[in-house]
Structure 1
């Protein structure tokens, strides 16, 4: 059984990765994961068992080199490896080199990673550039029906990499489990392996720090909820293929948070505790009570200028369509909005995916600053052209996008006048629209 699984992984990975791999053992990566001031996580996948190690150095002092521990990839973990660079300093840029079985692997682009700066409020905060997107469908001729492919324009990942963001936020549906995948650990690993080996993705993986949440398609079947039998398996595989800071806030799931400069990010899990969309016998929920309470406490405790709530589906859009919060858990939606109103938390912005179109929504709140939500979708899945008929009354004119796209959020400016530039680009990297928000305008 193990031999058959290994052959399938090699076949899937080999068909996609032959164009980018500089070493016969490399399937995908290296990928940069969560970055702390003293430590950075790397992810690598090989085609068969191999010893993985990474050398790294401060670009200001390239003669001094350090090494991660060696990790042996195995079939049990899908030939994935997580490695950690330790002993780092805040606010530094490091170069690195991948070694497989003791041999250096060459790449046609420089490999760099960075650590968050030590910012204590006494100086101007650093500029931070964050790419974001959701719904990345990679066509698979072995499992997908014939006809027009559902996924395409994979060069979008190269367009993102060319803009050189510091971070990439994956907003859910980062892979699409097929019927062949979601009822087994083997199937889930095979899907991630297939998608992660995409040649157009490799530079982005290796040069930008990645953080992810999930939505239904990388959790289970379409519209899946807390009843999904394999949710623990999905969580385990999610951890195999991502390098988030943590996973869950004490009761399972994948909820996490991290900070960079004067920006705090709160990454939510809208699947593990989600009630069925058609449930009638009790109040429906997307987040569950424990996660809602954690979010409230974390937001109230935050002293960051910007507080970014990252969610798989739309919160503000009041149209009860598909899997909007208004359609699936309207009472909980009102409770969340009421909490944000009562606590008067400054600097909140919501970032969501799922919808296969992009829009910027603005909710006016009496006696308080307006609340914004940027929905960004899709990366490579098929766009939802009929979004023009969904009349979200909160949508700002000129922000609806019904083609494949991504967003770039740039936090910049001096301490007394912090600015967020929101820019949305199509798959070729052409600017579609931009808006500017000032931190001073997002205060009680």
Structure 2
């Protein structure tokens, strides 16, 4: 009898050692990427080569488990893996589990995702809520500037997770490349890895869907533009570490694309890859580039979405000619705004970050609906006031906020009377201000 007890005890010890060994291979994640009706993207990063897969099951029916394909992480891909849970039913909630080298790796927080609802021709679109934010600086003292750390308040990621949004929209400067990173692939991949492994970020990654665009700091140096010599490497890093559903430029250039959530469409723009240097006034100046701008206009005209969120790293309607704002590129900005007016495109709202403060701006337009521009920044980076010379005439009163923050945006109501509610939240989860915008007001 004792022999069997000892053998069982040894087995448990072996099992614990094996489980710990596989958990030690986990660098970051798992993360839930895009969600569609029958497919969801799942991401993970290991510390060295390993076989990874996910088991998943409808939360209400745990006896019916399914598996993703098993893939091997490699150094060439920074030991990241992006796999698809592609045996889903629309409108369901799922629980999932990570396996490394054939062994389950438990996490001390829920691992969940959801498939989008097939509501078309059947019901009103479901209500939903998403979080948005930008400028997430994670300190690494060995390579940071001397003095007071620039990043702080990582508990904001816990706060966002506690709000239980359907997804998180990352508005750019999602990681901050440093001088030590810009010139090498290893440096760039290290910075993305270092940011993604932030302890406070892991629960948010594991159960909230994530979509992203970039701005200058996760693209290259401060105010970086099309001349950045390693933009192909940062484009590669972005695609390795994020799980957007598509890239409209294909494998050629840039990272712009689109996704839908219920009756709303998001247009994720690339404001860096094609950008004319700020002080190059020789020839035509561009922020998005001709191909991306034409794609955006075509996609906006084609879209039947109630709200059309144009997601971009920098402010659009701020009238001040600030470097890295769209107003610094007035001809292209006017071309976009003119197209929105002439094509009678309803429901357009701009979402952006970059400024290290948050504000809602509103531009009235004669004979048509006003354009709103919501800036949300920063998550953990240092805060900054507007420049003394800024024209704040378009600012919606009492919406300027100069502390760490994020926003929660909800869309609800019947299909014919949808309402967008914007709630700006501080890092503790307390509402700072709110604003309702009816879809009927944007026609």
**Residue by residue, what CA displacement relative to the aligned partner does 1:293-334 show, whole Å, maximum 9, x if unpaired?**
10011000001111110001011001112321112x111111
Which protein shows a greater Rg? Answer: 2
Partner of 2:346: 346
- Unaligned runs of 5+ residues in structure 2 are 1-20
**Residue by residue, what CA displacement relative to the aligned partner does 1:326-378 show, whole Å, maximum 9, x if unpaired?**
12x11111111111111111111110111111110101011101111101111
Q: 1:45 to 1:384 in 2, by over 3 A?
A: same
SS in 1 for 2:54: strand
Structure 1 window deviating more from structure 2 (384-393 vs 315-324): it is: 384-393
Partner of 2:425: 425
In 2, Cα distance between equivalents of 1:427 and 1:346: 33
Partner of 1:281: 282
Partner of 2:10: none
SS in 2 for 1:344: coil
Partner of 2:76: 76
In 2, Cα distance between equivalents of 1:22 and 1:309: 41
Instruction: Report how many residues are paired.
Output: 423
Aligned 1:200-219 pairs, distance under 5 A: 200-219=200-219
Superposition deviation, residue 38 in structure 1: 1.2
In 1, Cα distance between equivalents of 2:192 and 2:236: 12
TM-score by length of 1: 0.93
In 2, Cα distance between equivalents of 1:373 and 1:148: 32
Partner of 1:294: 295
Contact 2:33 2:41 in 1 (8 A): yes
> What is the Cα-based RMSD across aligned positions, in Å?
1.5
In 2, Cα distance between equivalents of 1:54 and 1:124: 33
In 2, Cα distance between equivalents of 1:125 and 1:389: 44
Contact 1:22 1:106 in 2 (8 A): no
Structure 1 window deviating more from structure 2 (168-177 vs 119-128): it is: 119-128
Contact 1:38 1:90 in 2 (8 A): yes
**Residue by residue, what CA displacement relative to the aligned partner does 1:95-154 show, whole Å, maximum 9, x if unpaired?**
101111122122222211001111215411111111001111111111002211111001
In 1, Cα distance between equivalents of 2:133 and 2:408: 9
SS in 1 for 2:110: coil
In 1, Cα distance between equivalents of 2:247 and 2:334: 27
Partner of 1:245: 245
Structure 1 window deviating more from structure 2 (71-80 vs 398-407): it is: 71-80
Superposition deviation, residue 240 in structure 1: 0.8
Structure 1 position 330 matched with structure 2 position 342: no
Partner of 2:44: 44
Structure 1 position 319 matched with structure 2 position 320: yes
In 2, Cα distance between equivalents of 1:426 and 1:276: 34
Partner of 1:5: none
Contact 2:319 2:391 in 1 (8 A): no
TM-score by length of 2: 0.93
